Amino acid sequence: MAMPRWGSVLAATAGVVVGAGLLYGSYLTVAPLVADSEAAAAPTASSTPAASPEPTATSDAQATGCDWAALAGRDRPPYLKGRADGMPRAREMTDATWECVGDGWTVEVRSAGDDAWVPGSAQALYLVAPDGDLLHLFDLRTDVAVEVLEADLDARLAWTARHGDRARVQVVQVGLDTGEVVDGWGGNAIPAAQVARNGTVWDVAPLGAFAGGGTLWGGYTPDGDLQSLFVREDGATFDGFSAQKPLDNLVEDGAVNHRGDPGVETWLNQDGTLAVFLAQRLDKASKNTGSTGVGTWIVADLAADDWRVETATVPRWLCRPAPGTYAPGAFDDPGSLQAVCAKGERESVFRLAVGGDPVRVDNFGP
């Protein structure tokens, strides 16, 4: 099964911003973190992390750092044997090898034959050295396709999406050196709309580098519409925006998105420092579900973590950001926000303004 949804969501957002699972305490790993694969036996499943192995003699030069490119093949960890058919040739990941990891290293998922994953096929998580050498971290589940969204190698953490048969996509935090999987990560920084009652995080993905430092993340509806924002600052440290509280209050008070579901619509500027949220109201007296024509704007300066609220005058239709468009202005005046609005089977394009009236136009563009 391919993984099209997050790819399409992030691709659609690229022009706007630069740039049923295992339970908490469970582990992905089925291979030990040791220096000598011939001498180690496979570990049994455990609910607590295994003790880190002692470095071998080959790690003496690595204790104070390691230049992977300077290591001859014989000085690198051995290649794994007995892998599933079609899995790439990869070296064993050792505790000492972490001393070699730095700039240019990445975390990737590879599946059997390196083709698009299909249910039941083998897949594993790897560190990829700058020269392309693969180091095996963990074998992965075979019932969902796994995608690496972001990794912090200094913190030895990654955040991966699980693509299965569900409309929603679970995102988990993975310890790269332990294999520990955490469902309820991010704490209170993760917007409530993205968190299930049991703490599981759904439908989030990184958008790119954040001007205030770290990575800007977005939260999505099950249909892939951007509805919330938060930041990963460093390691497993996440932070929310102060604008989230008034947004939550609006949703609790009946605000809807363009589908008529509880939520808001979101416009971003090109560098991800300004967000404009529209909370719409349903006209329940209307035969065809539409807006009352009055809603609420929340304008958020993300870099300064400041926000303001203003009454919105909108069409008597339910609106969403026009694909590939952005908020062209600033905190004081976000400019003309291009929207596609619908009522029943009919759609029209409007230019919306904070503090102004909607204007119907023929099409949308930059």
Structure tokens at 233: 């600052």
- The angle at the Cα of 229, spanning 17 to 247, to the nearest 5 degrees, equals 130
Closest Cα partner for 24 from 187, 167, 199?
A: 199
pLDDT value, residue 287: 77
Element (H, E) at 129: none
Q: pTM score, two decimals?
A: 0.81
CB 104 within 8 A of CB 151: no
Strands 134-139 and 91-92: parallel
3 state DSSP class of 227: strand
How far, CA to CA in Å, does 62 sit from each of 103, 147, 176? 16, 31, 19
Amino acid residing at 132? G
Q: What's the CA gap between 309 and 245, in Å, rounded? A: 12
Q: Is 8 helix (H, G, I), strand (E, B) or coil?
A: helix
Beta carbons of 170 and 146 less than 8 angstroms apart = no
User: N- to C-terminal Cα distance for the chain?
Assistant: 35
Instruction: Return the pLDDT at 232.
Output: 98
Residue partners of 26: CB distance under 8 A and separation at least 6: 45, 47, 180, 181
CB 32 within 8 A of CB 222: no
Determine the Cα–Cα distance for residues 299 and 89; give it in Å rounded to an integer.
Answer: 51
Q: How far, CA to CA in Å, does 140 sit from each of 85, 296, 311?
A: 15, 45, 49
* Token pair recorded at residue 53: 């192995």
Q: Among candidates 79, 63, 102, which has minimal Cα distance to 31?
A: 79
Q: What is the pLDDT along the chain (366 residues), one digit of tens a residue?
A: 334 333 333 333 333 443 322 222 222 322 222 222 233 323 223 333 333 333 333 333 334 578 998 888 888 999 999 888 888 999 999 999 999 999 999 999 998 866 677 888 889 999 999 999 999 999 999 999 999 999 999 999 999 999 988 889 999 999 999 999 999 999 999 999 999 999 999 999 999 999 989 999 999 999 999 999 999 999 999 999 999 999 999 999 999 999 999 999 999 999 999 999 999 999 988 877 899 999 999 999 999 999 999 999 999 999 999 999 999 999 999 999 999 999 888 999 999 999 999 999 998 876
pLDDT of 52 reads 34
The pLDDT assigned to 40 comes to 30
Write the CB contacts of 61 (distance below 8 Å, at least 6 apart in sequence): none
CA distance 292 to 323: 24
- Identify residue 122 by its one-letter amino acid code: A
CA distances from 129 to 105, 140, 334 (A): 5, 20, 43
In whole angstroms, give the CA distance from residue 286 to residue 316. 10
| Confidence (pLDDT) at 366 | 63
- Distance, CA of 58 to CA of 327 (rounded, Å): 55
